[in-house]
Structures are given as C-alpha cells and as structure tokens.
A and B are shown apart, each in its own frame.
Chain A
Amino acid sequence: MRKTILVVDDDEAVRNLLQTRLEKSNYNVLIAANGLHAVQVIGTGAKIDLMISDVNMPGMTGVQLVEKLFSESKSEFPVIMLSANRDRDIVIRAAKTGIVEYILKPFKFIEILEKIQKYLPLD
C-alpha cells in the first residue's frame, strides 16, 4: 500500500518537482498551493501520511497552517517544513508547533527523501 504525501507550496515549479520525484519514489502525492487550499484537501478526509509544507505563502502561511491543524488535532501525520526562510523567530515558531523537520531551500531532493523514509519506511 502506497503512502500518501501532501505537498503544500505556492511555487508551482517546486510543487511539480516534488510531485514528480516523490511519485517516482513510489509515493502518492496530493498537492495544495497554499495553507487554505491544504485545509480544504485535508478536510476532504483523504488519508495523508505525511505533509511537506512551505512557510511563506499568501493567505495562510505554513506555520499558521500547522498551528491550526495541530490545535484542532485533526491530523496525526508528521510535518516537514521546507522553506527558504531563515528568520530565527519563524524557525523557532515552526519548531514549537511540533513539526519533525525544517529543511532549508535550496534543498537536495535526496535529503528530503531520506527524511521522509525515516518517518515513512517503504513497505
């Protein structure tokens, strides 16, 4: 049974890259272009095993998204933050939400894959 990963990023090229490569690595991929969109996707009740989210997005930021999800305890899945934002306050605020990783952009896909496999071992 394939695991499902939700990719949230407002950058289409990044979304496409992650989708292509994750699918090649035998994951199901759902995508959302921003925080609000992600809430909608999760709201459909789709089974999600892990979420990769950008931080700076219009409307609702990645941190706001995770704060909302965790406070409403709607989701149990691990979250990996993926951002170019090196702002200390933001990183600390993100860490406090309970995310499992904070990966800085520009990233190497292999690095992300390793982290994912740590939380979602392939069957």
Chain B
Amino acid sequence: MSLKLIQHFTNAFRSKLFRNLALTMAVFFIFVELLVLVASIQTKEIELQEIRTQIESEIRSSGIELQTLNEKDIQKRIHIFVRNVTFLILIIILGVVAGMAASYHFIVGRHINLLVEVNRGTTAGQMVHISENQIPDNEIGEVMKGRESILKELLEFQTNLEKKLKSSEDQLIKSAKLGMVGEVASSVAHDLRNPLSVVSGYSEYLKELVEAEQPNLIEIKDCAKKIELATERVDLLMNRMNEFNHQKGSVKKNISLYEPISNALLFLESKLNKFSVKVEVKDRASMENQLIFADLAKIEQVFANLISNAADALKEASNKKIVILTSEMENSYMIQVQDFGSGIKKENIESIFDAFYTTKKVGEGTGFGLSIVKTILEEHQGDISVDSEVNVGTTFTIRLPQV
C-alpha cells in the first residue's frame, strides 16, 4: 500500500506539467512566507524594543540599579524563534506539495499516464483501447472518448481498405486467369482443327458411302461413330477451358498436390502439344497422397503459370521436357517445376516476381503471371524461389505447408 503510494507520488513527480506547477508554487509560497516572516520579526523586534524601554524606565523610576538586559540572550531567543517558524513553514510547504501531488495524481495524473501508455502502444503499431470503466467523468475522459471514436473509425477504415485490397487482388487474379485462358485459346483453336478435319473428312466419306450402289451399313455406322467421337472431343477441349476459368468459389479445403497439377496440365494440353513439349510428373502416386489446405482454383493457376512459362522457355530448346517433382521438408512440400530451356538472365532474375515486369513481346505476356503466383502462394503461407542459368534451364521451387 505504502509502496503504491510512493509509486503514485513518483508518478506525479514524473509529470513535467506537475513539476513545473509545483516548483512555481513552492517558490512563490516560500517567497511569501519569507516576506511574512521578515515582517513579523521586525514587528516583534519593535514590540520588544518598546517593552524593554518601558521596563527600563519603570525600573529607573523605582530607583533600582539597572543591570542592562543581555543583548545576546535576546538575539539567541529570536534565532530560536525564527528557526522554529522556518521549520514549521517547511513542514507546511512539504505538506502542501505532497497534498498537491496526491490530488494531481488522483484527479489528472493517472488518467494522463493511461493515455500516454495506450498511445505509445498505438504508435508502436498495436491498436490499444481504453476500456469503458477506465474513462473518467471529466475533460480527460472526453479526450479519451474522442480518441476511442477516432480509433474506431480508423479501424473501420482500415478494415474497409483491406477488404477492397483483397477484392481487387482477387479481381486481378481472376483477370490474370482469364488472360491465360485467352492465351491458351489460340492453342485450343489449333487443337480443334484436328477433330474438325475428322468431322469434315468422315462427312464427305459418308456421302460417298450412302451414294454407293449397295451402301455398306457397317461402314456408314462406323463413320457416324467417328464423327460423334470427334464432336465429343471438341466438347472436351472447350470444357477444359471453361473448367479452368470457372470460379470454383474461393474456398480452401484439403486437396492432393496432384489435383491442381493435373488440372493445369489438362488445361495446357493444347499449348504443350503445339509447342511439342512433354511434361513428366515424377512420383505421381505420392503426389496423390500429399495433402495441402488450399484453394484449388488458385493453386492450379500457380501451376498453369509455371508450366506455361516453362513451355515458352522451351521454344528453341532441343530437349523439350518439363519435369515436376516433389519432396518434403520441415512440415512443407517442396514442388519443383524444372525446364531445360533458355533460362533467365542474371540481371532479370530479381525482377521476375514484380508486377508489370516481363521480358516477353507485347501481346505475349502481361507481366502479372509470376507476381500473381507469389501473391497466391503467400495467401497459402507458402513461397516460391527460382534457380536459373541461361541456356541450361530454370527450376522454380514452390513451398506449401502440409495439412
């Protein structure tokens, strides 16, 4: 209790405002007291002098031999009197100062201390609030209420801003995905021409068969079947594009590592065919058992980006092969997408994950692919790194936490 009291006092003395106030008041107090003291001493001296003269004259008139009162004795008494008075005044001053400190602390100091404390926390980056029962019913309380309402508004503003940021980020991811669909569309269009050729070839043939003198029904049926299969293939090709672009809702759930990879490969099949690129997925069986907690649509976008980039890097390569492999490390899966293509120049490697950065020709790349890959992986508490050598190849390594 007394320790707490001392703490309260030291707290009061820590306040610059209080120190100045107390010092000024104390100086003023002492000055006034001294004036009063000097005045009272002078009055006493005059009174004493008068009494002395009176006594002396009375003694003389009574005819007694006068022995003069000792001056020094009087001086000594006066000194004792002054000392006692000064001591008393000092005690009074100390009492007043202590009283002031206590009342300052209980009325103002502790609330200001609280304000300073929470504000320090807030400046350090945490939103520190003052609870309802800590707010006093006075002017400082008003300041506190004002602070709390500003803080509340600020928080709401921040939450809104974060929401907007998230939604524009999601929008960007969606647009980039659509962009990929557009890019792959030309390869799909290329692929569609095979089944179209088949449809056209068998339709011509069908006409010939029907026009024959003795139509061969088995052959006719076979022709029709082939046309049907070709149209199914057209449908499948279109569906893959739709499937990839379709927003499956941003829901995270447990999925196997193989699922997004195989979806990306299906989506990119036409492009990979067009570029004559082979993709080798090593140890597919274990990938099917490796679980991650993820948004499937987004993770397949990550793989589609990396595989598509690797295919682009293989344009001029002799070994048109992409290898995908996984390993485990400290509660994470490491997935590598490896190509033996043109590689990335040293001076470009630091910028490849930056938005708007691209070394592709106008119309070939948006400069968003890898920055979006990075954003998506960060959303999944994962990350990505790259290792590349010009004309040797590039390896992107993704880390994703295990379930």
Which residue in chain A gives the minimum CB-CB distance to B208? A24
Contact call B194/A11, Cβ cutoff below 8 A: yes
Minimum C-beta distance from B340 to chain A (A): 14
Cβ 8 A contact of A59, one of B189, B190, B191, B278: B278
Question: Interface SS of chain B: helix, strand, loop or mixed?
Answer: helix
Contact call A14/B278, Cβ cutoff below 8 A: no
The answer to whether the Cβ of B226 comes within 8 Å of any Cβ in the partner chain is yes
Cβ 8 A contact of A17, one of B189, B226, B233: B226
Minimum C-beta distance from A120 to chain B (A): 19
The answer to whether the Cβ of A13 comes within 8 Å of any Cβ in the partner chain is yes
| Alpha-carbon separation in the docked complex, A109 to B197 (Å) | 8
Minimum C-beta distance from A13 to chain B (A): 5
The answer to whether the Cβ of A61 comes within 8 Å of any Cβ in the partner chain is yes
Contact call B276/A56, Cβ cutoff below 8 A: yes
The B182-232 residues at the A interface (CB cut-off 8 A) are 189-202, 204-205, 226, 229-230
The answer to whether the Cβ of A107 comes within 8 Å of any Cβ in the partner chain is yes
List chain B residues, Cβ under 8 A from A110. 204
| Alpha-carbon separation in the docked complex, A108 to B205 (Å) | 10
Contact call A108/B190, Cβ cutoff below 8 A: no
| Alpha-carbon separation in the docked complex, A10 to B270 (Å) | 12
Which residue in chain B gives the minimum CB-CB distance to A62? B276
- Give B137-167 as 1s and 0s: 1 = Cβ < 8 Å from A's Cβ atoms: 0000000000000000000000000000000
Q: How large is the interface on A (under 10, 10 to 19, 20 to 34, 35 or more residues)?
A: 20 to 34
Contact call B233/A13, Cβ cutoff below 8 A: yes
Contact call A85/B276, Cβ cutoff below 8 A: no
Q: How large is the interface on B (under 10, 10 to 19, 20 to 34, 35 or more residues)?
A: 20 to 34
Cβ 8 A contact of A10, one of B226, B233, B273: B273
The answer to whether the Cβ of B274 comes within 8 Å of any Cβ in the partner chain is yes
Most buried by A among B198, B199, B226, B273: B198
Contact call B194/A108, Cβ cutoff below 8 A: no
Contact call A13/B196, Cβ cutoff below 8 A: no
Minimum C-beta distance from A22 to chain B (A): 11
List chain A residues, Cβ under 8 A from B320. 58-59
| Alpha-carbon separation in the docked complex, A110 to B320 (Å) | 35
Minimum C-beta distance from A21 to chain B (A): 6
- Give A101-115 as 1s and 0s: 1 = Cβ < 8 Å from B's Cβ atoms: 000111111100000
| Alpha-carbon separation in the docked complex, A110 to B201 (Å) | 8
* Contact (A107, B201) CB under 8 Å given A14-B194, A58-B278, A84-B191: yes
The answer to whether the Cβ of B344 comes within 8 Å of any Cβ in the partner chain is no
Q: Can you name 20 extra interface pairs (CB under 8 A) apart from A61-B276, A104-B193?
A: A13-B198, A14-B194, A14-B197, A17-B197, A17-B201, A18-B201, A20-B205, A56-B190, A56-B275, A57-B276, A58-B277, A84-B189, A84-B191, A84-B192, A84-B193, A84-B194, A106-B193, A106-B196, A107-B201, A108-B204
Q: Which residues from chain B sit less than 8 Å from chain A, CB to CB?
A: 189-202, 204-205, 226, 229-230, 233, 273-278, 320
A-B contact pairs, 27 of them (CB 8 A): A10-B273, A13-B194, A13-B230, A14-B198, A17-B226, A21-B201, A56-B273, A56-B276, A57-B273, A58-B276, A58-B277, A58-B278, A58-B320, A60-B276, A61-B276, A84-B189, A84-B192, A84-B193, A85-B274, A104-B193, A105-B194, A106-B196, A106-B197, A106-B199, A107-B197, A108-B200, A109-B201
